[in-house]
Amino acid sequence: MIEKTYLKTKPQCKVKFALPAEQLRGAKKVYLVGDFNGWDELATPMRKQKSGVFASTVNLEKDKQYQFRYLIDGTIWLNDDNADAYAQSPIGPDHNCVLDI
């Protein structure tokens, strides 16, 4: 799930990223990784909620496009079915999620 809330006082959008527990098969650690954090695999951890959903919220600049993926337990890359689009990764055969803000 991707939830966008545009801020009225700043040219930013508050974006909540959430992954349901059943999609993660008992994952211990989940990270949100993208060009907004320099593709740093540890920069944006997702917190496990009581419901089992992993979630993280970031503020992103409006009128831009961002690429991202999820990293599960340091080894499995996962895309979001709710992404606005997908783009070929510049570093491999996979596709990245695209978010239009």
pLDDT of residue 99: 97
Mean pLDDT of all residues in 3-30: 92
Give the start-to-end residue ranges of the domains of the chain: 2-100
Cα(8)–Cα(5) distance, integer angstroms: 9
38-92 tens-digit pLDDT: 999 999 999 999 988 999 999 999 999 999 999 999 999 999 999 999 999 888 8
- CATH fold of the domain at 2-100: Immunoglobulin-like (2.60.40)
Flag whether pLDDT at 5 surpasses 90. yes
pLDDT of residue 60: 97
Per-residue tokens: 79 = 């895309």
Q: Element (H or E) spanning 23, and its range?
A: helix 21-24
Chain-centre distance of CA 78, in angstroms?
Answer: 10
Contact assessment for residue 34 and residue 67, using Cβ atoms and an 8 Å cutoff = yes
